[in-house]
Amino acid sequence: MSPSKNSKLNAWVEEVRAMVQPDKVEWCDGTTAEYDRMMQVMVEAGLATKLNPAKRPNSYHFRSDPSDVARVEDRTYISTTNKRDAGPTNNWASPKELKETMRGLYNGCMKGRTMYVIPFSMGPIGSDIAKIGVQVTDSPYVVANMHIMTRVGTKVLDTLGAGEFIPCLHSVGKPLQPGQKDNGVWPCAPIEKKYIAHFPEENLIWSYGSGYGGNALLGKKCLALRIASAMGKKEGWMAEHMLILRLTNPEGRKFHIAAAFPSACGKTNLAMLQPPLKGWKAECLGDDIAWMKIKADGRLYAINPEAGFFGVAPGTSYKSNPMAMDSIRENAIFTNCVMTDDGDVWWEDMDKPCDHGIDWKGRDWKPGKEVGAHGNARFTAPAKQCPVICSDWENPEGVPIDIFVFGGRRTRVMPLVHQATSWDHGVFMGATAASEPTAAALDVSSALRRDPMAMLPFCGYNVGDYWQHWFEMGDRLGNKAPAIFYVNWFRKSDAGKFLWPGYGDNARVLKWMCQRVEGKVGARETPLGFMPNPEDLDLTGLTIAKADLEEVLRVDAAAFKGEFADLDGWMAKIGEFVPERMKKQVAEYKKRFGG
């Protein structure tokens, strides 16, 4: 019996049920009892291990199939009537053909399983920036993770009423024969049968064959970025791959920063940073996604649409991110880590060594050639458990954004920080953001991976139209637009030594940004943009060689000119869809460097 009074929702659920043919249907209510029951179901199926409650209370560990450990970008589709609308950076498929293929896979795919219906809110329930989705799934692992990552339950249905929702259909793609059970084998389909499909013209998501991460937790990248970015374009708001951070200065003024970094660039660390500067306080509002809308005062307000953290475990430690480590001490889900002999979890670059355990493939493990935890091993934990979560993180009105930050991982060429001279210049900076694929890359000019606004895998429509949307949002914001900056924490010396200490000391760069917004600190104009003079940065208590500081703030014009060909190649990839204003920015950028 459906608890929903939404006739469109009820009809969709019935249509899906008839297609996938589950043994039974359950509507999720979001209660603790339901979460505990999901975990018990998975423990009994051999898919979950309860961790030692003395070590990590109410926490569980899972091992996925080796073929199901990360996003599958080559099996991810933006399906639009016209291929042009998906653009040159997405995999496109015809909606008619893709649906026909997937319906064939969905037919009877939930036999032997329970079909769960998960009503969920992305963002605080009732916020005018939030959206409601309903995910149908045959995975209790997904139900448990969605409990943490979104707001699930009957209150969502009450708020939805007869309104619009985003339908999200998911199956692990492994029906069970009568009497058959999973028996500890992670359910998923072979890679060639995995599909993560988005239909932005209908605000619809279909996912098949994967039970892991963003392929299966459809509120995350699928809804919160791919579908939401397309909705934002149509409706006049922004869905961005950005952390949200509040910095409060000694006088009590609050600054809100939204920052976009590709993977492996310290995004979660910055979201939970603790400043070493006297009188400055940092609080986390979100570590991954920001939805932003212009409000009545003309400013851009952001909410974090998620309710939890789904973070990469390896590399997370008390040195790199103590607040994240404290956030996962209890009530957490771990996937593809090492299980230690004392019933806890471990991963590489943790604070303590592990001499023996069971690795992510379920094998007896000791340190040696093979890593114990998968490189994309994950933790899922409620955001409310973060010791520095901001009191306004669930404010339905959102927080006003003062600063946008873009960045990438560059061992050479790109200096520590620079500021855009205008909004259009800032859009250019974000659109051309780049990282080196490996620290060992020698020919930097041919080894850059462009990742516009850190949205390359997540933009749900044509990236040229996406850039144009940024320009138009700037027009609407006018003089109330956030200031835009670009950072690179990863510059190295010729000897391979990091020139900037990073981690909490990045707050020194953020302080300069805040003071720039206030008009309280100087800068010098360079062909890149405005940059701090060494004396503009607060280096109190920091030991850094004068030569290192000068190098990390140096603009090497010859090196930037050497990358013009790569920039031209990137623009050529977008081709006819590059907006005129972007072409103008490229031309002005080259001219400033004497090109």
Residue 52 and residue 214: Cα distance in Å, rounded? 27
CB contact burial 442-456 (16+ within 10 A = b; e otherwise): eebeeebbbbbbbbb
Handedness of CA 432, 437, 443, 444 (dihedral sign): positive
Q: Which tokens sit at 28?
A: 């999720």
Is residue 461 within 8 Å of residue 232, measured between CB atoms?
no
User: Backbone dihedral region of 430: left (phi > 0), alpha (psi from -120 to 50 degrees) or beta?
Assistant: alpha
| Interhelix angle 140-149/32-44, nearest 10 degrees | 150
Residue 321 and residue 272: Cα distance in Å, rounded? 7
- List 301's β-bridge partners, or say none: 293, 400
For residue 394, the tally of other CB atoms under 10 A from its CB is 18
Task: Label the pairing between strands 204-208 and 195-199.
Answer: antiparallel
Residue 502 and residue 415: Cα distance in Å, rounded? 13
Residue 108 and residue 21: Cα distance in Å, rounded? 5
The helix (H) or strand (E) run that includes residue 334 is strand 333-335
**Whats the size of the chain, residue-wise?**
595
Handedness of CA 509, 480, 256, 521 (dihedral sign): positive
CB contact burial 553-569 (16+ within 10 A = b; e otherwise): bebeeeebeebeebbee
Residue 286 and residue 308: Cα distance in Å, rounded? 9
Give Cα 502 distance to the centre of its chain: 21
Residue 52 and residue 305: Cα distance in Å, rounded? 32
Is residue 207 within 8 Å of residue 222, measured between CB atoms?
yes
Residue 376 and residue 371: Cα distance in Å, rounded? 12
The active-site residue out of 265, 284, 337, 386 is 265
Residue 212 and residue 361: Cα distance in Å, rounded? 15
Is residue 387 within 8 Å of residue 327, measured between CB atoms?
yes
Active site residue 265: yes
| Residues belonging to the active site | 265
